């Protein structure tokens, strides 16, 4: 019998020098301004004699450039082109889907992805809970801006001129779907809270017996790209804004945001 290492294990072996070079590029990418060699050495935790050959090779292929006046290093034109190409092909829903799947699997709760549409936030993906859950949310559902956690997240992070009229029209547009609309002043407070905490919560509203948390996903330009919402029955989902479910969806939203190039604080 062949006792050699399975092919998948062998395929995971990489080229160490490329991985080392990648760490140097990560340091340069994390800085907003060109770096002196001594600062790069400190940040990468590598001796200058090890770093310098990488910088020379990276310079030859355009991944790194050197300021002719100061001698400081920065990402080069090839790195910029790679970044632009990546941004052009980036699909927020595609990037978020595996994270949403994992969140649902880890918590057993339903998870939804929503993006901004012509009429407001619209559900584009719904991962069912591992148990029966009674909501009227489906793929394609337009969410109330004022009366749902998902809507309040978009209200918190989209420009006010984009959401103001929809907020005013919310009760008319979604009248039959929201049996007991929230008071306008209460909604404003909840939107402000969502903006501060980067999470919104709904307890027994708009659907009795259902708890929901929604968190924003930001892109490389610091704009909201989509919202991730988790839902489950009251009494099963911890409603604490600092509880395990809230922490899990915050972590999920932050991870997707990083995938989309967001570099701000979460």
Write out pLDDT tens, residues 33-71: 899 999 999 999 999 999 999 999 999 999 999 999 999
Q: What is the pLDDT of residue 2?
A: 46
CA separation (Å) from 80 to 26, 215, 223, 230, 235? 13, 30, 21, 36, 50
For 21-25, what is the mean pLDDT?
Answer: 93
Q: What percent of the chain has pLDDT over 70?
A: 91
Separation of alpha carbons 163 and 170, rounded Å:
10
7-88 and 90-259 agree in CATH topology: no
Separation of alpha carbons 22 and 34, rounded Å:
17
Q: Would the pTM of this model clear 0.75, i.e. be above it?
A: no
Is it the case that residue 6 has pLDDT exceeding 70? no
R_g (Cα) of the chain, nearest Å: 23
CA separation (Å) from 101 to 25, 98, 155? 31, 5, 25
CA separation (Å) from 167 to 69, 101, 132, 164? 54, 31, 32, 5
Q: What CATH code is assigned to 7-88?
A: 1.10.10.10
Strand partners, 55: none
Q: What is the pLDDT of residue 180?
A: 66
* Burial status of residue 102 (CB atoms within 10 A of its CB: 0-12, 13-18, 19 or more): middle
Q: What CATH code is assigned to 90-259?
A: 3.30.450.40
Is it the case that residue 249 has pLDDT exceeding 60? yes
Q: Model confidence at 9, in pLDDT bands (50, 70, 90)? A: very low
Q: What is the pLDDT of residue 176?
A: 47
Which residue ranges make up each domain of the chain? 7-88, 90-259
């Amino acid at each position: 019998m062949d006792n050699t290492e399975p092919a998948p294990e062998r395929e995971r072996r990489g080229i160490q020098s490329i991985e080392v070079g990648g760490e140097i590029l990560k340091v340069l990418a994390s800085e907003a301004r060109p770096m002196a060699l001594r600062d790069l050495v400190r940040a990468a935790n590598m001796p200058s004699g090890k770093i310098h050959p990488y910088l020379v090779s990276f310079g030859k292929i355009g991944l790194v450039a050197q300021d002719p006046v100061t001698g400081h290093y920065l990402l080069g034109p090839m790195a910029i082109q790679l970044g632009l190409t990546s941004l052009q092909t980036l699909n927020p829903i595609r990037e978020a889907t595996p994270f949403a799947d994992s969140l649902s699997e880890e918590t057993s709760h339903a998870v939804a992805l929503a993006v901004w549409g012509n009429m407001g936030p619209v559900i584009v993906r719904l991962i069912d809970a591992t148990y029966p859950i009674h909501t009227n949310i489906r793929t394609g559902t337009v969410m109330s801006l004022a009366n749902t956690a998902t809507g309040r997240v978009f209200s918190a992070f989209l420009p006010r001129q984009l959401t103001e009229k929809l907020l005013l029209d919310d009760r008319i547009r979604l009248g039959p779907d929201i049996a007991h609309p929230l008071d306008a002043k209460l909604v404003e407070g909840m939107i402000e809270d969502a903006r501060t905490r980067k999470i919104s919560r709904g307890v027994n509203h708009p659907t009795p017996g259902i708890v929901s948390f929604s968190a924003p996903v930001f892109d490389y330009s610091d704009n909201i790209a989509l919202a991730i919402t988790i839902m489950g029955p009251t009494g099963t989902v911890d409603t604490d804004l600092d509880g395990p479910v809230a922490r899990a969806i915050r972590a999920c939203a932050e991870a997707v945001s990083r995938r989309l190039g967001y570099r701000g604080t979460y």
